[in-house]
Amino acid sequence: MRAVILAGGYGKRLRPLTEEIPKNIVPVLGKPLIEWQIEWLSSQGIKDFVLLTGYLGEKIVERLGDGSSLGVRITYSHEKTPLGTGGALMNAYDILKDDKEFIMVNGDVITNLKIDRLLELEEEYVGAIALVPLPSPYGIVKFDESGRIQAFIEKPLIKDYWINAGVYLLRNKIFEYLPDKGDIERTAFPKLAAEGKLKAVTYADVLWKSIDTHKDLEEAAKMLEEAGGRL
């Protein structure tokens, strides 16, 4: 099985870091974000990768090459103009057309979730989306009926609500739903959901962080430090 990593974004909220390098090779705890992702998936048996590059994609090629330095094989699909997440995947059709199914990962997430549960997808579905509990951006205050404060909880997970973790199992039929240009989250996924062909797979207790801002970088580094510098 192959893994596809979306690696074409501008990373505007990480400027000035992303003025000369793409978001995917911004270092997190001394290691490029995309290398964390490749090592995470490689540890679960995936050795073939397709990187969907765009903005400053040549910098990713310079850094990773054919993937041999990481013990994997890398193929590249480059978009000359921004195509969105769905269009970028459609642009790689010639590479992936013979793959029965593949893992796809947003290029801005660090996680340790196990993909084996996604691979158990029943035949009736076209894809599965990993979901994680909604992380609160704020600390919360617990108090009793009298108003007496009991505890302060720093940025808890809100386990009644689930968000897209940016990790997917997609079957080849996904190409029948993809746009030539546009985001998969706004085009293919709503259509598949309406047809009942998209499955949710929840992960309650995993490391997960989406990196969009400088603060996110700091929080991701802290998360990894607390995990012993490994996923």
Q: Which two three-digit tokens encode residue 44?
A: 């679960």
CATH topology (fold) of 2-131+162-205: Spore Coat Polysaccharide Biosynthesis Protein SpsA; Chain A (3.90.550)
Catalytic residue (one of 12, 155, 215, 222): 155
Q: Where are the domains of the chain?
A: 2-131+162-205
Per-residue pLDDT at 2: 97
Q: pLDDT at position 147, please?
A: 85
Q: pLDDT at position 66, please?
A: 97
Q: What does the alpha-carbon distance between residue 188 and residue 177 come to, in Å, rounded to a whole number? A: 5
Residue 207 CB contacts under 8 Å (≥ 6 apart), including other chains: 110, 111, 112, 113, 223, 227, 231
155 counts as catalytic: yes
Strands 127-135 and 157-171: antiparallel
How high is the pLDDT of residue 32? 95
Query: Can you tell me the distance from the alpha carbon of 9 to that of 134, in angstroms, rounded to the nearest whole number?
Result: 23
Q: Give me the mean pLDDT over the 47-75 stretch.
A: 96
